[in-house]
Structure 1
Amino acid sequence: MLLREKSSGDLVEVIDSNSLLNPFVDQVKVQFQCGQDLADPEMCDKKGLTFPSGEGLPECWLNGHYRTKA
């Protein structure tokens, strides 16, 4: 799955989609898709990612307690 990093605007490919969907995991392994050579995979905060359209990730991917009222 391709997502966009908010700070740089670069596209990243999510290597581990299970960690992306798990709301109790704060970071996901990604590989930046800029340049001709593939970059080494690295960890990235999920809160710093959006869909390529600019839409944020669903709350249920980011917060394991999203149904609990504070």
Structure 2
Amino acid sequence: MFLQAKKSATLIEIQDLEALFNPLKNEIEGRIQEGEEEQDPAQFVKQDLTFASGEDLPRCWLDPDYRN
């Protein structure tokens, strides 16, 4: 799955989808999609990411108390 960094608009390939969907995890592992060579994995804060369309991530992926 690809997400986009809010500040730089860089595409990021998410490596661990379970961590993305887990609201208890604040960071996820991904790879920046730039250049011809595959980049090394890095940690990204979920709050700093959006869908490529610019839509925010669902609250249930970010907030463990989203039902309250």
TM-score (norm 2): 0.97
Which structure 1 residue ranges, 5 or more long, are not aligned? none
Superposed CA deviations along residues 12-58 of structure 1, whole A, max 9, x for unmatched, are: 00000000000000000010011111110000000000000000000
- Hey, what does 1:3 align to over in structure 2? 3
For 2:34, give the aligned amino acid. Answer: C
Which structure 2 residue ranges, 5 or more long, are not aligned? none
After superposition, the CA RMSD in angstroms is 0.5
3-state SS of 1:13 partner: strand
Please list every run of at least 4 consecutive aligned residues from structure 1 whose deviation after the TM superposition is greater than 4 angstroms: none
Query: How high is the sequence identity, in percent, across the aligned residues?
Result: 41
d(CA) in 2 for partners of 1:7, 1:19: 22
